[in-house]
Structure 1
Amino acid sequence: MRNKTIGFLIAVILFAGCQPSVPSAPPQQTGAPPSETVAAPGTTPQAGGKLKFAVVPKGLTHQFWLTVKAGADAAGKEFGIEINWIGPEKETEVVKQINLIEDQIGAGVNAIVMAACDQDALVDVIQKALDKKIPVVTIDSGVNSDLPHSFIATDNVAGAAAAARELAKLIGNEGEVGLIPFVKGAGTSEQREEGFKKGIAEFPNVKIADVQYSQSDVIKAMNVTEDMLTRNPNLKGIFAANEPAAVGVVQALEAAGKAGQVKLVAFDAGDDEVAALKKGTIQALIVQNPFRMGYDGVKTALDVINGKQVEKRIDTGVTVVTMENFETPEVQKLLNPLG
């Protein structure tokens, strides 16, 4: 009898071991539509892992991008995210930027925060990232597409229009001016050119006599400014649309002995630009908030992963800085975000 009982118990145990396990219920998903607010599969790290975000600027050398990096690094430190800062050396290296982003997609980063070197050429690689369930946030320079979850930048049209009004005021609302955008086809450059032209159109006695592109290169900007001054001896003012353009124009004006005579308004606030403002070669700076672009770019990408609502467009604002308001606490905080 004892042997029969043992045999029966063994049979029961073996039968139970052959039954399939019941899968646990899948976790509930919350949030808004996946295109804007829900983290897609594959965007979170393995248990105990650390999120890795690729932050891809248009260039690596100018102070504007270094301030963007400082903002991204600050957000990374605050939220425990590893920041891969990688980009082309020059803002004209569109293919290189595409290749770098493709490398980051292949490496399996959890999100991409990027400033597009070209508003059309970068669309396909953004689609590749989204196909891999990697959220994309654009900063400073966007693309001709609604694919990115959010675009965080200056309102460049409004900022350049403000530059036009400031320059018109400096030259007494009449005379010829020059315009130096940077890269044809780059969204930021196109928008600043558009905004400046719209702003100047408000002044019937001010004429844009010449438009030359700097290619975001100081030497190129200096050379085109020299040519502009030669072709237009009556030029009364110039708008330089970014930091390297401004530095090149400063060098050309000082070499020609026209510093302060030809008025200069410029975007951004690199060290050389601020020095030229203090010296009087630049009369006004249109100052962005690149630190906030970097910080908000990382934070917004994290919000996407966490299924939070994000704004499709975030304007980081501009401030017109002259020597009249240079020492104010607000301007000093903007110029020195890290203290």
Structure 2
Amino acid sequence: MIFIRRLSMIGLQLLFLLTGTQALAVSQNGDGQWLRPKDPQGALIWGRRDGLIFGLPSPGGIRGPRGLIRVGILGKSSSEPELINFIAIEPVTKGAGSRFSRMGFSELEMSEMDPGKRGKRLWVATTEGKLTRLPAKPQPVERLSVRIEVEPFTANGAHVYVVASIYSDRPHELELAVHHHDNSAPIEELTVTATMGNFERLRHLWLKDRVVDSRELFAGYTDDGFVDKENYRRDEMLMYGDGDALVLATTNEDNPSGVKVTERPSWTYRSINLTQYWRVPARHIQPDLRVKVNGRRVYWASKVTIPGGLSFE
């Protein structure tokens, strides 16, 4: 699922509070809920005990391919990180040709910094990130921000970085702000993409006046690749609060972790039933804001059919 915008958010509504973890250090300042890496050479995971965590490819970190930001939660019983989704960085440069031909793909492009490896390198210069106290009522709000550097894109010349932030009063949301460096090719869209909706098997897309079911939207599709159709404009999205744009995606299953993918165990979802959503604050909405979704019949890089039918990728 894609929001094409300069600033986007992905969040998860959780129905319980999370306990601590043995893999991460708790910050000695702040409200005691922050999780930050112990060792710059170890697991790179940041976030909240009572909400979301996010991470980068690293020894002992959250599993997954290169070139992707990991998003997850801490397990209720194990206190270990549980993967929920991935975020890819896919900037679009200005120029001739189709939008697709001008996109960069952080997960798929070969790395020049690490020859022979697929996926752009993601790294941080400051391991702990920056914890800031912001004035607010009835009490101050804390913000943890982590600047994530992205290896320059070869295909389109884009050079960008991402600032990922979590606020103590919204621990279940991860704010993603994408910026370009001065030496970047001219940018048309600074796009971030959630790439693994079929892990939880998200099949319901909640818009303003209807719920779109992936099995109906992509009915009749029998191939093994990606399938997509129309975009959804701003006036088709839900409105939240003071005019924020909001769209939600949910599974149609009561217990997605109860389904075992025996042919490819890594695709077995192990966390709780969650609502995943994108929200763009009203002050950041641009006229061309839109939602784009695609779907899959089989899991990525396999011939394994997704249990229960097509789901949103």
Give the TM-score, by structure 2 length. 0.28
Structure with more of its chain in helix, by fraction = 1
